[in-house]
Every structure is written in C-alpha cells, then in structure tokens.
Amino acid sequence: MNFKLPTLFSAVAIFAFTTNVFAQESPKYSYTEAFKPLFYPQSGTETRSASGQPGHKYWQNSADYQLNVSLDENKNEITGTAEIIYTNNSPDLLSFLWLQLDQNLFAKDSRGNALIPLSGSRNGAKGQDFDGGYRIKSVKYDGKDVKYTVTDTRMQIDLPNDLKANGGVAKLKIEYSFLSPKYGSDRMGIEDTKNGKIFTMAQWYPRMCVYDDILGWNTTPYLGASEFFLEYGTLSANITVPANHYVVASGELLNEKEVYSKEEISRWNQARTSEKTVMIRPESELGKNTKSGTKTWKFKIEKSRDFAWASSTAFILDAARINLPSGKKSLAISAYPVESAGEKAWGRSTEYTKASIEHYSGKWFEYPYPAATNVAGNEGGMEYPGIVFCHMNSKGEGLWGVTDHEFGHTWFPMIVGSNERLFAWMDEGFNTFINELSTEAFNKGEYHRKQNIAQMGAYVLNDSFEPVMVGPDNMKERSIGVLAYFKPGLGLGVLRESVLGPEKFDKAFKTYINRWAYKHPTPWDFFHTIENVSGEELNWFWRGWFMNKWKIDQAVKNVKPVNGDFKNGAQITVENLGQLPMPTTVEVKFKDGTTEVVKLPVEVWKRNTEWTFQIDSTKEVTQVKLDPQSTVPDVNAKNNVWPGN
C-alpha cells in the first residue's frame, strides 16, 4: 500500500521550529525504566525459539486454491468458484474453519462503511452507492453442502467431523459472485479510459484465515485501513474475460499460445532475453483486436499467499528481462493505457520494475516469482504477489517511488508473511526502510535525496501520534502514514546507521528474512533475531521507538577548561533529557579549525542522566556539537550545540 508523504516532509519543516515545546513536554529520563529487564513477554517455546528463529516444532497450515472466474464488463460483475485444499499442520483438531470475505467491506451495512467519518476516507466504498459484497451461492465440504455463517467480512464453516491434526486435509468449494466497486478502498477497482475499462481485481475470492500458535484463528474483521494475513500455497486461476481483453496476473501464464498471436509471442520471447524494454502490444495496435465472445487466461503461482489480476482492452504491454543472483531470470512487465504512455511516465515503468527487483534480490533475498507486473489503475499503490497496481497518472519520480514501494512489498509481507492486520509497521515500515536504500542505488541516485534525520525528531516523535505498535484500525487515519510507514522505516535507518552500523544491521536483517521466508513472524521474533545476530541489547530501543512514544533529547550541558585553562584540556558534560537514550556522538571544534570526534556508547546512559568526559588537548575549544552528521532525530536541536546561539 502506498501513502504519499510529501505533506509529511513539509510538516517536518514546520515542526522543526517548535522543538522547544516538545522538549519541555518530555518527561525526565529514567535509566531504570529505559533499560529495565524482562522486556520479552515469554521465553522460547517449541514453535518459536528465544533466539528469534522458528522453533524445532514450528508448524504452519497451508491453503492451495483452484480459482475459476468470469468477468462481465458491462455489469462490473465477478462470478467464480474457489476450490480450496486446506491442510491442518497444527497439533489441534479443528471443528470449524474461518475464511475472509473481504468484498463484504463494500456491502452497505458493513462495519468498515459504518466507520467512515463525515470528512471522508480512502477506505471502504468511498461514498459509492452500489450493491456490494459477496453473494454466496453454495458452500461444499468434501462435495457435500455444509453449514456456514457469514459475519461481516468473515465466514465460519462448521465441519461435520473434526479436521485431523498434523496433516488433516479439508476440501472446500465455494460458488460466489459480487459487483466490483469502482474504487475499492484504494486496493482494487475499475478505471475508465478512452480505450475501455481497466479492471484491477483483488480480494476477489474467499480466502482462508490464518490459524497459528499465537492466536489460534486470526479473525480480525477487514475494516479497510488494515491489510491482510494469509496462508501460503499454490494458486491456479482460470480467468474468463471478453475476447478483446488482455489479462495480466500473479504468477506464470500457462496458455500463451491460446491468448496471444504468433507475433505477440515472438515479442515476449524477445523480451525474455532483453535488458531493454520491448513493446509487446504497442499503442499502434490498440483497437485492432475486435474479437467477440470470451477468452480464458490460465495462470499459476507457487509459494504465494494471494493472487490478483487485471484485465482491459486498453492495455499497452511491454517487458524486459530481470536478472537474479542465482542466474535465474524473471520478467518485468508493464500494462498501462495510452493516457499513461511516454518516457516521462509509464514508458519507464518496466525499467523501474526491473531495477527494483534486481536490487532487492541482490541485497536481501532472491525474487521468487516468474514475472513482476506493474499495472496502471486508479489505486494510489497496492501490492500483491507478482503484480502491483499503481496510479495511472504517476510519472517520473512519483512513478519510481510507488513502483519501488509496491514491489518492495514482495519481501514484506509476500515473502516474510507478518500479520498486517495487527502490525502494519512490519510490512509498511520495513518496506519504507528498504525503499530508501533502493532509491539511493537506482540509476546513480537519480531520485535520491539525502534526508536530514535530525530535523525530523520534533515531528515524528511528537505526542499527537499513537504508538507504532498500535494497529492501523486502532489509530487515526491521518496517523497511518507516519506510524505504519515513516516512523518505523526511520527507526530501522537509525538502528542501522547510528546504533549497530550497516554491516552488523544488514547481517541481522538478512538473517531475519531468511529465517522467516514464507512463514509468520511476530514482532518478538524480529526483535529476538536482531538482538541475537547483532549480539547487542536493544530492548531500550524497541521499548522507546515501537512500544511507547519516547522522545530523543540529548544536550551539551557544560564545557569547562581544566583548571581554568584549555591548555590543560577540556571537560565536557552531556545529558540525556528525553526518555529514549541513544549512543552519543560529540564533535569538538578547536580555535585552529581542527576537530575531534568522541563516540559514547549507549551504555553510558544505563546508570546516568548526564556524563562528563575529558578532552586531552592544549587547544582552545570553540564549539561542541552533538550528532554532527545529523543522523539522530533529536526533538530539540538548540541544546545540541555549545556555545548556544
């Protein structure tokens, strides 16, 4: 999901001038509170090790889907069947199953629509007046009708017999239909263009809820703001659309000879070996496909938690090869209307997609899917395995940013499958963090702007926001951009640059990804992993940055010449005023223009609120400054410098 942050950065500039207010409101620093032990709610278990890795008896259920769906473009109606093979790998007998019916968000009487304020929202049906939500025709278990109950965005199926533990298999078949919203909570919808409608289809089939060792059934309703938590498996889809449509989807196209012309197939084959973008269906060929009737497109994706697709008569299609570290290849694909064409806009989409996937594959974990498709629709930006939807009006830096962000979600949460419904920061925040490194790497930094982290403290750490650990349905909508995206992303950057160092952080972060690829980590699994791999105690950081709203405020309290003369050296006193301690970097400037940098570890603050150290020098000190590289978001910059102005 994409939240536009330019307004956030302008707000940073405003709040930078109000740092004294925030500093004065900060409670006094307590080292016993910051570093108190017993941070973790429990020790290791058989399923989750205290070291942060899956335990020796870790288990996870799976769900495989055979999806058959038809699109009626005149009615905007989806009709389908979902055949689900659900495997219970848990040690528990299951007497019922829970499924997510996310389209029910768009029913007039949904809980999500009831939460829309008078001022409006990006979530829910956004004021559309239509008969949304699933129409369930039948539900069968092992080929027989079964009792089920629909509650808002969830369905409970009562089983005639308990589903066996440790490998029991349930076979479901659900027949359904729904009318697609034009604007589906900024995640899916329908966009009108001069050459036809663009259908971007997501949350379009009943999906199994996760059953895990943390909560059992995860049945938190879909209210619009929070995203998803899904099981992994193999998903196959037969998508029947008007014959003049072109379809792109998650995974691999299985029947290209049935849906593409020989010339188009030849272009696809050229793209698979090309470093440069190859046109598959150029603008000049729009409108030439006038076939009537329908056509079925067949796709398959493995090791996936979801499936999405898009269909239109209006698509220009282009593609290029993606090079992966193992030597394998994938394919970057873009699908967009003529309104989005041009080298300053979607003409560079495939270039952006290719660069993003190649960077993350080399830096963190190899991209697992046969294609990566960027679709121009009416979404601000939304991610699914192997396919993303970005706004058709995006261009230049904006298109790079949203493309890189949505494909960054391949790693969080498509590969590392955290619970987005509860912990949005574990996908949005982690992704925001890796986006910064990707943007710095892209095309020699074409769109990169170095951030002044120090100026952001007064804004991102102010009291008007809820804690990061609060779920997205439990915070003001205006807070989501900061608390799910910006603050956790900034926090990982601070942890990398100012606490652990890039080498130590990257090793720990990469270990976390590898440990939890295609699994379901919790925040505690992440915290444990980073601490165990880095070898550092970080409970003070997790406690202050994620669990609470602690501020960072360090100051230069005093600078004294030893025995009244700088020729004997200088004693410098720094203090920790904010609740959140940090390693302290002190830059000392001398009258002759030279400098000396002193680094104080965070342990200085384990039993002190202020600390005095001595500079052995014969030169006069003219300035002492904390955080000279501006890498720490301190809420009060004025007390970071001596002499103060």
| DSSP 8-class letter at 162 | E
Per-residue confidence (pLDDT) for residue 635, from 0 to 100: 96
Indicate whether 80 and 214 sit together in one domain: yes
Per-residue confidence (pLDDT) for residue 603, from 0 to 100: 98
* SS3 call for 614: strand
Q: How much is the average pLDDT of 437-456?
A: 95
Per-residue model confidence as pLDDT tens digits over 168-219: 999 999 999 999 999 999 999 999 999 999 999 999 999 999 999 999 999 9
Indicate whether 220 and 86 sit together in one domain: yes
Q: How much is the average pLDDT of 626-635?
A: 96
Give 136: exposed, middle or buried? Use CB within 10 Å, 0-12, 13-18, 19+.
Answer: middle
Tokens of 37: 């032990």
Q: Contact, 479 vs 466, CB < 8 A? A: yes
Q: What is the Cα–Cα distance from 108 to 74, expressed in whole angstroms?
A: 22
Cis amide leading into 643 (omega within 30): yes
pLDDT averaged over every residue in the chain = 94
Per-residue model confidence as pLDDT tens digits over 389-438: 999 999 999 999 999 999 999 999 999 999 999 999 999 999 999 999 99
- Cα of 446 vs its chain's centroid, Å: 23
Indicate whether 401 and 468 sit together in one domain: no
Question: For residue 632, what is the domain's CATH number?
Answer: 2.60.40.10
Q: What is the Cα–Cα distance from 7 to 4, expressed in whole angstroms?
A: 8
Q: Which of 546, 567, 587 is the last residue of a domain?
A: 546
Count of domains observed in the chain: 4
For residue 145, how many other CB atoms are within 10 A of its CB? 9
Per-residue confidence (pLDDT) for residue 5, from 0 to 100: 52
Most confidently modeled range among 32-41, 56-65, 467-476: 56-65
Residue with tokens 């307590």: 30
Indicate whether 285 and 396 sit together in one domain: yes
Indicate whether 462 and 606 sit together in one domain: no
Indicate whether 275 and 318 sit together in one domain: yes
Per-residue confidence (pLDDT) for residue 6, from 0 to 100: 40
Is 594's pLDDT higher than 50? yes
Is 64's pLDDT higher than 80? yes
Q: Which of 527, 546, 565 is the last residue of a domain?
A: 546
Judge whether 321 lies within some domain: yes
Per-residue model confidence as pLDDT tens digits over 360-369: 999 999 999 9
Task: Report in angstroms the alpha-carbon separations of 534 from 281, 509, 527.
Answer: 50, 9, 11
Residue with tokens 């170095």: 450
Judge whether 248 lies within some domain: no
Judge whether 267 lies within some domain: yes
Indicate whether 313 and 380 sit together in one domain: yes
Q: Which of 401, 416, 431 is the last residue of a domain?
A: 416
Judge whether 225 lies within some domain: yes
Question: For residue 644, what pLDDT band results from cuts at 50, 70 and 90?
Answer: low
Q: How much is the average pLDDT of 613-632?
A: 96
Share of the chain above pLDDT 90, in %: 90
Judge whether 264 lies within some domain: yes
Indicate whether 340 and 218 sit together in one domain: no
Question: For residue 12, what pLDDT band results from cuts at 50, 70 and 90?
Answer: very low
Question: For residue 119, what pLDDT band results from cuts at 50, 70 and 90?
Answer: confident
Is 24's pLDDT higher than 70? no
Indicate whether 378 and 519 sit together in one domain: no
Q: How much is the average pLDDT of 364-388?
A: 98
How would you list the strands of the sheet with 148-151, edge to edge?
148-151, 154-163, 94-100, 207-208
Per-residue confidence (pLDDT) for residue 118, from 0 to 100: 85
Indicate whether 571 and 470 sit together in one domain: no
Judge whether 532 lies within some domain: yes
Question: For residue 507, what pLDDT band results from cuts at 50, 70 and 90?
Answer: very high
Indicate whether 265 and 217 sit together in one domain: no
Q: Determine the structural domain holding residue 635 and report its residue range.
A: 554-643
Rg over CA atoms, the chain: 27
Question: For residue 173, what is the domain's CATH number?
Answer: 2.60.40
Judge whether 26 lies within some domain: no
Judge whether 452 lies within some domain: yes
Is 7's pLDDT higher than 50? no
Indicate whether 485 and 583 sit together in one domain: no
Q: What is the Cα–Cα distance from 342 to 312, expressed in whole angstroms?
A: 19
Q: What is the Cα–Cα distance from 626 to 637, expressed in whole angstroms?
A: 9
* SS3 call for 168: strand
Per-residue model confidence as pLDDT tens digits over 322-331: 999 999 999 9
